[in-house]
Structures are given as C-alpha cells and as structure tokens.
Chain A
Amino acid sequence: MKTVLVAAAVFGMLTGAAFSQAPNFDDPEEFAKQREQLTATFNGPADQMYLQYAGDAMVDTAAFKKEAPWTVCFSNAGVNNPWRVVGYTNMTEEVKLHPEIGTFTHVDAEGSDDKQIADIDDLLAGGNCDALIVSPNSTAALTPAVEKACAAGLPVIVFDRGVTTDCPVTFVHPVGGYGFGIQAAEHIIANVPAGGKVLMLRILPGVDVLETRASGARNMFKEVGLEVLGEEFTDGDNAKTKSIVEDYLQRGTIDAVWMDAGATAVAAVEAFEDQGVDIPVVTGEDQQDYLQKWRDLGFKGIAPTYPSYQWRTAIIAAVQTLKGEQVPGPEWVLPQPAITQDVLDQYINEKMPPLHYAMCGCEDMPTYPNAWGGTE
C-alpha cells in the first residue's frame, strides 16, 4: 500500500505541470490596442496613478447609491504569491482610508475556482454585502458566479483577471499582458543587435495574463529577426531558473533574457554572475531585489510592471459606486508604466522586503512602509 501511494505521488510530481488547451492568446487587435495604450495619456491626477483611467467612458451608478456604513465584500482568488501579498496589503490599507466602509469581508479562494464559486454563493446567501469585489481565479469558471451576483442586484467590481460578462459596474485592470510583453521586448530589441539570441523564461503555461505577455514578445522578436533560443518554464523557482540559464550558457552565448514575471529575475542574473560572464540584458519586474541587483551590477535592465495599485483602485471604485458617483467603466484601464534606467533610483527603497513590488502606488498612505513589511 505504501509503495503504491508513493509511486502515485512520485508520478504525480513528474506530471504535475499539466498542459492546458490554450484559447486565443495571440490576438493582433488586442496587441495593437494595448501597444497604443502604453503610451497614451491617461485622465486623472498625474501623481496618483491608481486614480487614472484611459478614455472618457463613465458609468452612472446612481442606482447603487446607499447610506453609509457599508459592508464591502471581497472574493479573492488567493494571496498565494508575493505580488498578491503586496496587492492585498494595498487593499486593506485603502479600506482604512474610507470610514464609510463599516465592514470589509474578505474570503480567500486559495487559488481554487470551485472554492471561489462557493465563496461568492456564500456571500450572496449571507445577504450582508452592499458591494462585491471579485478578483477572479480564472476567467471562464468565474463568469457565471459573477453574473449571479449581478443578478442579485449587487454592484460588482472585477479587477486583475477579467470575466466574460459586462454585468459588473466596471472591470479594473492595467493595460494588460501584451503591454507587459511589449515593454520588455522593445527594450531587448533596442539593446541587442539583429540576429542576437534571446532566452525566454516563463513561469508556467496556460495562464492568460502570462500567455499574452509571451505571445506579444515572441511576435516582436520574430519581426526584427532576433533568435529565440528557447522558451523555458521555471515554475517560479529560483533554483530551477538558475539551472536553466546555466545550461543554456554552457551551450553558447545569450544576448538577452526575457522574463514573463520578475520573481526569479535575480536568480537568472546570478547565473551569469556566478559564471563570471558579462550580464546581458535581463528583463524583470518591479520587485525590490531585481531593481537593486540591476543598480548594483549596472546591466541593461528594465522593469515592466503589472501595477499592484489596482488593488487600491478596486476599493475606490466600490466606494464611488456606493456613493452613486460616476465611475470609469465598463473598463477602468489603469496606466502600466515600465521602470527604466532613468527612473530606477526613485523606485528603489532598501528598507522594503526583497519581493516588495515598487509600483504599488502605496507610498502616499499613512501606514507606509510598515504595513508592507518595510522599516522606516
């Protein structure tokens, strides 16, 4: 019996990364739209990016106006990675800024579609929510649950990953995955001569926001004639990332490393560092450890972001809705800036934890930096 159990477990380990049937993650129209939005001017206060929005479409929410205090409910896909930890902190701190929110109810789906669907059902059945914020675990699975909440008459705010219904008041999100891929790829194209070799490192296949990052970049490399050495999946694991880069280095030179997310960027940089090889262009994301490595070693880095300030925006949208104010919608598209060499220093803060995402838009909050694990 033991043998069978372990054999099953060992086999499970080896087949763990399942394939998934990809919907269209290579949409030229969406690609072009996001490319344009990256450089567009956004409405709203210049120094508060979490309040900015693309376009002028607004949604009238007078029907949802309600007397305070409110109960705001939040169905969260999970707090299972450092980006979501920072985002969730942004959110809870934002809640503290709104005395009208009497109760903030958070339910964590721990990365499971089924649990999140059940969570939303429970929240609806409880009947206490005045507004529902949803950060969907996956798009298709959560759409019916969101529709059900809309049908119950609740104002629903969706953010981060989307759903395929337009019944929510608004869908808060930054420019998007293509945009992220474009920013990283443009930087590589600008710094690597034609015919250069690019290694693409990805976390895992099948996640829409990550697939679009990769497909956007892949197309651009092909266009300008950069050779993609390979697309490797790291599972977000530092040790694996380092091994993969070391192996590729043994087989030849690498002119650039493109990453679909920055959590293991430092491990990729270290692979070059430990081999005593010059560090090529390595793209990352806005977390502190990468930004500091980039500054200290002086390689050609760039940090596209998927700003975690959208977690603040979701609360702000809920508050505006319950006040009956106009809300940018049906999509509230937030700016998605990349951190470049010129502005690098202003995003570095050595007192913050290594995986603190610098584009948190949280510096202006009274509890910064302690609530994010930083020290004054």
Chain B
Amino acid sequence: MSAQSLPQAPTQRRLPRINPVYVLVAALIIAIVVMNPAFGEPTGYMNYLKRVAALAILSAGALYVIVSGGFDLSVGSIMTLTVIGSSMLASNDPNSTYWIIPLMLGIGAVVGLINGLVVSYLKVPSLIATLGMMISLNGVAFMWSGGAPRGYLPDTFRFFGRYNITDIPLITLLPIAVICLVGFGLLLWWGMHRTNFGRMLHAVGDNPQAARLAGVPVERVRISAFVVSALTAVLAGVILGGRAGVSVDIGSGFELQAITAAVIGGAQLLGGRGSVPATIAGALALEAIFTLLNLLGLAQPVRLVVQGLILIGAVALATYQRKRAGQ
C-alpha cells in the first residue's frame, strides 16, 4: 500500500520482484510434467484445474476477510451446508437446480451478514465468531440430513463441477468448473484490486483506526467482506458437490486450506495485504503438491511430512522476501 509513495531509485541489477508463489507453482508443475508427461495433455492439466477450482474460488473469497484483518472459519461448513441442503431440497428433480442455487446463495449471504454483524457490532473476534458459526452450521447440516445423505444432486446441479465441454480445438476439452474459476477469479480480482471497495478493504485491514478517521465506513466494509467470503463458499460448495457428489463432511478442512492458500500467496494474516491472483496461485500450489507427492508414490506418512515442510518453506520464503524488500 505504501510502496508507491516513496520514490525509489530504479536498481537495474535487481531481478523484477515476482511473488514467490508463482515460482513455486511453476516449479511444481514442471516437476509434475517431468514425472508424468501425460500431465501436459489437456486431460491432465484440465483435470488438475477442475480439481482446484473449488478451493481457488473459496480462497479468493476468504482473502477478502483476511485482507480486512479477520478470519472466516465458517466457509467449510457453508460448503457442507450447501451440498447437504441442495441434495435434501433437490429430491432428484433436475429442474430444482434453478431455484436451489440462488436459494443457497441467499442463505450464504445471510450467514456472511451474521458473521459480519457479530464481528463488527458485538466485537467478537472473527476467529471465535466464525468458529461458532462453523460449529452451528455443521450442526444444522447434521440435523437436516440426520447424519447421512438423504438424496442425490441432480445432474443439472453437478454440471458446474463435473461436466466438460469437449471437441474444442487446441485444448480439446474445457471443464465448466474451469470456466467458473476464470470468471469468478476475474470478478474477485476486479473487486479487490480495481474498486474503491477493494482499497477500503486494504485500509481497514492495515489500520482500522486510520481508515475510520479517513472516512472509511469500517463496519460496512468488514460486513461486506464476510458476505463475499460466504458467497464464494456457496459457489465452491456447488462446484465441489458437483465434482464429488454428496457426503456429510464434504467441506471440512477447507477453511484452513483456504487460509493456507492465501498465506502461500503472500497475504498477511493480520490484514492489509493480499492479492487475488497470488491466492489462486496458492491454491494451485496446494493441489500441485498433493498431485506431485501422489506421483512420487511416497507412503502417506512421508507425504504428510513433505507437504508440511513445503508449506512452511513457502510461507517462510514469502515472509523473508517481504522483509528484505522492507514492506
């Protein structure tokens, strides 16, 4: 936020500063292609993008809350609720999708609004407020389903997460999920980096006091961030449910993965800094790590250790770079 105001002498010897997450993703993908040339084929990389779409959209939405200086731990439970609720309501009727998705978005918006109101006006720390919301929503989903899925998702609903447009020149196939990823990714990028709202988000996260004095409606900005986050969680739920089908704990763990993706992408956990494209790259990196370790054929325990180390390394590197750059 503040770099532009200080005139700096251009140093020519320095390499252009690239967010390390892009290097990480590139390195992981090159490694995957070397290990498995089939990944370079459209079915290979499109499958990978399709798989990552839900997490990428979710992380980009969760970033709004992180940039504003909060956490949203309720997103995973919103995904679960979306999938369970949709399967309960659909009762195998393919025409139901057209009202179910808007309804779920409505529910998501209400959840986000409540999160935002609790954090802004009741002054409950967002970690606790959204943790409470997570527990409650998991309870709601459990009560609704009785602990086991009670219905299927119709094919019209699964369309977004599962189907591919085939016979496209050059790339042969294009999953709908990838179109969603690009579309919502652009929308979220625009909202964060090209609007006044995005600037206010950064300001609130950086220093809420200063932002308030500068006339930023801090509460409204925070609440909007939670609403955006909750809405993307519903979208991610639709895509993930489409890809994988119904299970009762489908969204569990996604809240932490989303935060991880944002952090790998260089977002600052205390707010004020973060980039949508880098967060999406963070999600790509997480999934690439999973794919790569799978390809290496390591045993599960070893894989977990390596996965953890790569994550810590990536975040440490990002922090180190930032420190050196004096930001």
Contact = CB atoms under 8 A, between A and B. Distances in A.
A258 to B, nearest CB: 17
Contact of A353 (B39, B148, B247, B253): B148
B257 A236 contact: no
A273 B173 CA distance: 15
Contacts of A205: 300
A325 interface: no
B136 interface: no
B19 interface: no
A227 interface: no
A19 B301 CA distance: 7
B290 A243 contact: yes
B148 A13 contact: no
A233 B301 CA distance: 10
B247 A236 contact: yes
Interface in A265-298: 266-267, 270, 274-275, 289
Interface in A222-257: 230, 232-233, 236-239, 241-244, 246-247, 250-251
B270 interface: yes
Among B146, B148, B243, B253, the most chain A Cβ lie within 10 Å of the Cβ of: B148
Contact of B311 (A14, A85, A236, A356): A14
A271 B297 CA distance: 19
B165 to A, nearest CB: 13
Contacts of A230: 297
Nearest to A230: B297
A298 B244 CA distance: 21
Contacts of B51: 239, 243, 246
Interface range on chain A (Cβ under 8 Å from partner): 35 or more
A366 interface: no
A353 B301 contact: no
A246 to B, nearest CB: 5
A97 B242 CA distance: 41
A80 B246 CA distance: 16
B27 interface: no
A373 interface: yes
B44 interface: yes
B162 A274 contact: yes
Nearest to A83: B148
Contact of B300 (A17, A81, A85, A247): A17
A142 interface: no
Contacts of B257: 13
Given A82-B248, A289-B152, A10 B260 contact: yes
B245 A267 contact: yes
B294 interface: yes
A5 B127 CA distance: 10
B146 to A, nearest CB: 6
A265 B246 CA distance: 12
Contacts of A250: 36, 38-39, 43-44, 47
A282 B302 CA distance: 27
Given A14-B308, A82-B248, A373-B146, A247 B295 contact: yes
A344 interface: no
A351 to B, nearest CB: 10
B148 A82 contact: yes
Nearest to B162: A274
A13 B146 CA distance: 26
Contacts of A81: 148
A5 B311 CA distance: 16
B240 interface: yes
Nearest to A12: B256
A324 interface: no
A355 interface: yes
Contacts of A80: 147
A244 B294 contact: yes
A15 B304 contact: yes
Interface in B297-327: 297, 300-301, 304, 307-308, 311-312
B311 A355 contact: no
B151 interface: yes
A79 B147 contact: yes
B291 interface: yes
B152 A354 contact: yes
A99 to B, nearest CB: 26
A9 interface: yes
B65 interface: no
B193 interface: no
Among B247, B253, B260, the most chain A Cβ lie within 10 Å of the Cβ of: B247
Given A247-B294, A250-B47, 13 more contacts: A6-B269, A10-B260, A13-B260, A14-B304, A85-B146, A205-B300, A239-B240, A239-B243, A243-B294, A247-B291, A251-B38, A266-B245, A354-B246
16 contacts: A2-B127, A3-B269, A10-B263, A13-B253, A14-B307, A14-B311, A85-B146, A85-B147, A238-B247, A239-B240, A239-B244, A242-B243, A243-B290, A250-B36, A274-B162, A353-B148
4 cross-chain pairs, A with B, having the tightest CB-CB distances, nearest first = A82-B148, A238-B244, A239-B244, A85-B148
